[in-house]
A and B are shown apart, each in its own frame.
Chain A
Amino acid sequence: MISWPGLIAQLTEILLAILLAPVLLGWVNQCRAWMQNKSGPGILQPYRTLRKLFAKEAVLAHNASPLFRAMPYALFACMCLAAAIVPILGTDLPFSPAADAIALVGIFALARVFISLAAMDIGTAFGSLGARREMMVGFLAEPALLMVLFNASLISHSTSLTTIVEHLAHVEFVIYPSLAFAGIAFTMVSLAENARIPVDNPSTHLELTMIHEAMVLEYSGRHLALIEWSAALKLFVYSCIGIALFFPFGIAEGGDAAGLLLALPALAAKLAIGGFVMALIEMISAKMRIFRAPEYLGTAFLLAVLAMLIHLLLGS
Chain B
Amino acid sequence: MTDMASLMEDRAAAKVISDKVQKPVDWDSPKIARNIKKRYAAERRFKIYGLSAIGVALLALFVLAFSIGSKGYTAFFQTYVQLEINFDPAEIDPNGTGDPAVIGKANFDDLIKKALLARFPDVTDRRDKRDLYGVVSGGASYDLRERVMENPNLIGQTRKIWLISGDDFDMLNKGYIDANVDEGSRRLNDKEIGWYDALVSDGAVEKKFHSRFFTSGDSREPELAGIWGAAVGSFYTLLVTLFLSFPIGVLAAVYLEEFAPKNRFTTIVEVNINNLAAVPSIVFGLLGLEVYLNVMHLPRSAPVVGGLTLALMTLPTIIIASRAAIKAVPPSIRQAALGLGASPVQTVTHHVLPLAMPGILTGTIIGMAQALGETAPLLMIGMVAFIVDIPGGALDPATVLPVQIYLWADSPERAFVEKTSAAIMVLLAFLILMNGLAVYLRKKFERKW
- Do these two chains really belong together in a complex? no
Chain B residues engaging chain A, CB cutoff 8 angstroms = none
Chain A residues engaging chain B, CB cutoff 8 angstroms = none
